[in-house]
Structures are given as structure tokens and as C-alpha cells.
């Protein structure tokens, strides 16, 4: 959704600062830096391998790009601490989730179609791998993770199969996990539109990297840092993420949160007064039919955009979400 993002995020000044919380391989960064010759860019990513790729790709823009390595919620929380002034970006972008690099090249077991160590950590600093989670947790907790983060209705059956399988040796590779999920589900499920292990893999990745908690804390913190008049765009890839973005944006804009959306896990952090916001997109923007056909991985993407009207104008948004 590059064109859509470019359309919504227009720098208000030639030397505006853009904060890209999920720099990845630098695809969005390259497009923005190429289009706006005065734009300054701050790119965050948890993954050192992917950051090295972005550094190479963005070398032509040296002097205008700064890189920070770490989980974005932690990096954003530390900004403005220790006497350093916090950046006040005019533009903020979150393109949540993982990149093709993780599925195809990383060798960390993100894909059910490969046989690699079952790691799934975006950052080597993350406390434990997916294999360790499956070795250490009980059947109940494994089922909860698969149900909540994978929205997998056969979570109990899959968790039972994992716990039985680990008695004969650790579930330590993506190949072994994919095979045992396949064997655990009924034959009808094996011939569905997606591989039967798709949801289980998504769930583990989310749990290992605390993706939902980090998204919630990171987006809230970035909203506080955003300069008055600034715009923030968030692209999510599954309904769990989109629900978080929708809820946070509505709370920031002082709108009622629909009953179908659960309240925030934590109160929305107040950062020097979160300020007042307006929703730029009332409904999420989805990829065009042409883009979805060209890039099937983009099919489930949803883009939401919010604008900050001013700092401290309304104290309301913080904690405005239902608990």
C-alpha cells in the first residue's frame, strides 16, 4: 500500500521528520526519501539482519537517515529520557508484522514450508524462542496462545498433539511442528484454503515477540510524540492487530469504543498530554484489487490514519478507552 501511504503522509515542511517504527528493508523509506529531498528519517527495527539490509539500501540518503535497533515500544519509551529532547515527528508510520525476509531468508522457522530451528524471535534480545515456549509451557497455556493469537478453533487438539510429541523429543524445528499440526487436524481441515499450521505459526510468532502488547504501547507512545498537525499511519495484517489500532485511534479521537472491541490492556499512556486527534480514515483502507492480485500477501492489509490537531488541547483521550 505504498501509494496510499504516500498519499496520506505528506510532509508539512521540506525538512520534516518522519519516524518509521518498522523500517524493515527500507521500502517505504526509500520511496519517501526519494520523493522528498529535504525529509529527515528515523527508522526503527528490532531485527539486526534486516536493519543491515536497510542500511545498504538507504546508503544514497546518508545524512538524512538515522537507524535505531530494538523493539519499537521500548525505543519510543526511552526517547526523551536522560536529558535528550524527544523527537517530535510530523509523520509516523507503523507497517506491523514481519517481512518477506523473515519467511524466506531468515532461517528462524517463521514459515511452515521450511525446516529450520523454531526460533521466531525478531530480535536476538527477546527472552525466549518458539521452541522454548513449546518446551516450557503446559498444554492449557499452549492452547490459549494458539486460540487467542491464531484464532485457531482446533487449538486444544493441536496443543495436545504438541505436548504428546515433546515426550519423544523437543519440538524444535518448523518442519516438525508443521507436520505434527497437519497430523493432528481432521482430514477435511488439511485440504482447506490455507495450510493447517498457518494459524499456529502466526500465534507463536505473536507470542514470542509480544506483538500485540508492543503494538498497543508503541502506537500510543508515538501518538504522544507526534508533532501538532502531524499524521500517523498504521498498516496491520490481521484482525487482532487491526482491532488494537481501531480502538486506540478511536480513544485518541475521543470517540466511543464499540462494545465489540475490548478495552485496552493498559491505560493509553499520556505523553506530556497526548493531545487531540481526528480520524483521517473512518474505515480502514484496503489494497486495490490490482495490488492484491499482484501481491497476494498484501490481501489482508488494512491502513488506518489519524491526525494530531494539537498538544494538550484535550486531556480526554488518555485512558478514554473502556477497560
Ligand X SMILES: C[S@@+](CC[C@H](N)C(=O)[O-])C[C@H]1O[C@@H](n2cnc3c(N)ncnc32)[C@H](O)[C@@H]1O
3-state secondary structure of 278: strand
- 147 binds ligand X per the rule CB under 6 A: no
Query: How far does Cα 127 stand from its chain's mean position?
Result: 18
DSSP state, residue 118: S
Stretch that binds ligand X, among 93-101, 164-172, 178-186, 306-314 (CB under 6 A): 93-101
3-state secondary structure of 26: coil
Stretch that binds ligand X, among 20-28, 170-178, 251-259, 315-323 (CB under 6 A): 20-28
- 45 binds ligand X per the rule CB under 6 A: yes
- Contact residue for ligand X among 18, 39, 42, 44 (CB under 6 A): 44
Closest distance to ligand X from the beta carbon of 46 (Å):
4
- Contact residue for ligand X among 24, 43, 317, 321 (CB under 6 A): 24
For strands 231-236 and 91-95, give the pairing.
parallel
Nearer to ligand X, 72 or 249 (CB): 72
Q: How far apart are CA 95 and CA 23, in angstroms?
A: 8
Look at the chain and count its residues: 323
Q: How far apart are CA 6 and CA 35, in angstroms?
A: 9
Nearer to ligand X, 45 or 152 (CB): 45
Letters for 50-89 (x = contact with ligand X by CB under 6 A, - = none) are x--------------------xx-----------------
Give, rounded to a whole angstrom, the gap between the first and last alpha carbons of the chain. Answer: 33
Stretch that binds ligand X, among 90-98, 137-145, 149-157, 187-195 (CB under 6 A): 90-98
Stretch that binds ligand X, among 94-102, 127-135, 171-179, 270-278 (CB under 6 A): 94-102
Stretch that binds ligand X, among 17-25, 126-134, 259-267, 295-303 (CB under 6 A): 17-25
- 99 binds ligand X per the rule CB under 6 A: yes
Nearer to ligand X, 22 or 155 (CB): 22
What is the chain's percent helix, strand, coil content, to nearest 5?
A: 40, 15, 45
Letters for 105-144 (x = contact with ligand X by CB under 6 A, - = none) are -----------------x----------------------
Closest distance to ligand X from the beta carbon of 260 (Å):
26
Stretch that binds ligand X, among 95-103, 106-114, 225-233, 248-256 (CB under 6 A): 95-103
CB 48 within 8 A of CB 40: no
> What is the total count of residues that contact ligand X (CB under 6 A)?
19
Q: Which of residues 166-225 bind ligand X (CB under 6 A)?
A: 214
Q: How far apart are CA 108 and CA 118, in angstroms?
A: 6
| Dihedral angle of Cα 81, 84, 86, 87, to the nearest 10 degrees | -150
- 284 binds ligand X per the rule CB under 6 A: no
In 3D, which of 36, 32, 11, 35 has the Cα closest to residue 23?
Answer: 32
3-state secondary structure of 322: coil
Q: How far apart are CA 98 and CA 96, in angstroms?
A: 7
Largest CA distance in the chain: 62
For strands 231-236 and 302-310, give the pairing.
antiparallel
User: Which parts of this chain interact with ligand X (CB under 6 A)?
Assistant: 22, 24-28, 44-47, 50, 71-72, 95, 97-99, 122, 214
Amino acid at each position: 500500500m505504498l501509494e496510499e501511504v504516500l498519499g496520506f503522509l505528506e510532509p508539512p515542511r521540506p525538512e520534516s521528520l518522519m519516524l518509521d517504527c518498522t523500517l524493515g528493508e527500507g521500502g517505504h523509506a526509500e520511496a519517501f526519501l526519494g520523493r522528498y529531498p529535504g525529509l529527515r528519517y528515523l527508522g526503527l527495527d528490532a531485527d539486526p539482519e534486516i536493519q543491515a539490509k536497510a542500511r545498504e539500501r538507504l546508503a544514497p540518503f546518508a545524512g538524512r537517515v538515522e537507524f535505531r535497533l530494538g523493539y519499537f515500544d521500548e525505543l519510543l519509551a526511552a526517547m526523551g529520557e536522560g536529558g535528550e529532547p524527544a523527537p517530535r515527528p510530523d509523520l509516523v508510520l507503523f507497517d506491523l508484522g514481519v517481512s518477506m525476509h523473515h519467511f524466506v531468508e531468515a532461517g528462524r522457522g517463521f514459515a511452515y514450508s521450511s525446516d529450520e530451528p523454531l526460533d521466531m524471535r525478531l530480535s536476538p534480545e527477546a527472552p525466549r524462542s518458539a521452541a522454548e515456549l513449546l518446551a516450557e509451557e503446559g498444554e492449557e497455556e499452549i492452547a490459549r496462545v494458539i486460540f487467542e493469537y491464531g484464532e485457531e478453533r482446533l487449538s486444544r487438539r493441536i496443543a495436545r498433539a504438541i505436548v504428546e510429541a515433546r515426550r519423544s523429543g523437543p519440538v524444535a524445528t518448523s518442519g516438525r511442528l508443521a507436520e505434527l499440526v497437519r497430523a493432528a487436524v481432521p482430514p477435511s481441515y488439511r485440504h482447506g484454503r490455507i495450510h493447517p499450521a498457518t494459524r499456529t505459526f502466526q500465534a507463536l510468532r505473536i507470542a514470542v515477540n509480544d506483538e500485540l502488547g508492543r503494538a498497543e504501547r508503541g502506537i500510543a507512545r508515538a501518538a504522544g510524540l507526534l508533532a501538532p498537525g502531524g499524521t500517523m499511519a498504521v498498516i496491520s495484517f490481521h484482525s487482532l492487530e487491526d482491532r488494537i489500532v481501531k480502538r486506540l485511534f478511536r480513544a485518541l479521537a475521543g470517540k466511543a469504543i464499540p462494545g465489540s472491541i475490548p478495552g485496552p490492556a493498559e491505560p493509553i499512556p499520556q505523553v506530556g498530554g497526548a493531545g487531540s486527534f481526528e480520524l483521517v480514515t473512518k474505515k480502514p483502507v484496503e489494497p486495490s484489487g490490482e495490488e492484491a492480485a499482484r501481491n497476494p500477501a498484501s490481501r489482508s492489509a488494512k491502513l488506518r490514519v489519524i491526525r494530531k490537531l494539537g498538544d494538550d488541547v484535550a486531556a480526554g483521550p488518555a485512558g478514554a478507552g473502556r477497560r
